[in-house]
Amino acid sequence: MTQTDEYFLESKPLFSGKIREVYNFSDDNILIKTSDKISAYDFVFDDELPNKGALLTKISKYWFEKTKHIIDNHIVNDIELKKIIPNTFESCTLARKCKPIRVESIVRGYISGSAFKQYSENGKINDITIKDNMNINDKFESPIFTPSTKADVGDKDQNISLKEMYDLIGKDVSEFIKKKSFELYNFAHEHALSKGLTLLDTKFEFGYDKDDNVILIDEIFTPDCSRYCLTKDLKQNHIEYFDKQYFRNYLDSIKWNNQQVVIPESVKNRIISKYSDVLKMITDE
């Protein structure tokens, strides 16, 4: 287990999310520490997956840098941070303080996961009517935007319509976020394709900076918030996703009953292998 830095022994987090703790680093910046825990079905497991936090952080930082021409983000140069937290530096992000916008912005380029389940039940995803006879992992003619609420820890996110998003945060902000979400997805989708991966769907979070500009926050295009697969496998019946679906499938197989469990080493290794593959393929590291 990674040795804890003195900074975290002496500091208390401002906020603890599902897998992240946020610390007040300075007047303008926060320090975000990504743990090695995993969540599924809105439940956080105590058992840890070694190196998971570092993998997620590396992938996010890569994408934040890669997409800053599309929209500004909360990342701050953290080259000096390694001196302060040498043991956990790879799992940490220095970021500007922002006011989070309490909506998750989900873009789907393909019909997969919970979206396919909704479609199978009523022909819709959120309030969007989808054409007939689509099969799982089929590509939409153009990506769709299916926002949800951003629930507090322990609660479940709720799918909402674009109109409901207008009511929550305003039409102008909603339309700006929708536009940028499509631009971000399309850019990452093309980049992933060039590496042999298909980005089926993803989610974003946004916030207001100190000047009330809407910027990109949290994490982007990691296996925790995005669904990848090998492009060559896209039409296979039993597809191997590079996200948390493998873990969800494991929980289903043991008839998990919303209690803490010890995750088998073989399952941990498989998850970390998938996350590592995404990092290597996307970044060529």
pLDDT tens string 136-171: 999 999 999 999 998 665 567 899 999 999 999 999
Please state the domain count of the chain: 2
Final residue of a structural domain among 62, 96, 130: 96
CB of 247 closer than 8 Å to CB of 40 = yes
Model confidence over 171-221: pLDDT tens digits?
999 999 999 999 999 999 999 999 999 999 999 999 999 999 999 999 999
Q: Are residues 59 and 147 in the same domain?
A: no
Cut 0.85: pTM above it: yes
Q: Are residues 126 and 265 in the same domain?
A: yes
Report in angstroms the alpha-carbon separations of 127 from 8, 62, 113, 119.
44, 34, 17, 10
CATH of the domain at 213: 3.30.470.20
Is 9 or 33 the better-scoring residue by pLDDT? 33
Structure tokens given for 56? 């997620």
Residue 2 has pLDDT above 60, yes or no: no
Structure tokens given for 18? 């599902």
Distance, CA of 37 to CA of 46 (rounded, Å): 6
Alpha helices in 143-244 (DSSP H): 162-169, 171-194
Q: Tell whether 1 is covered by a domain.
A: no
Final residue of a structural domain among 50, 79, 96: 96
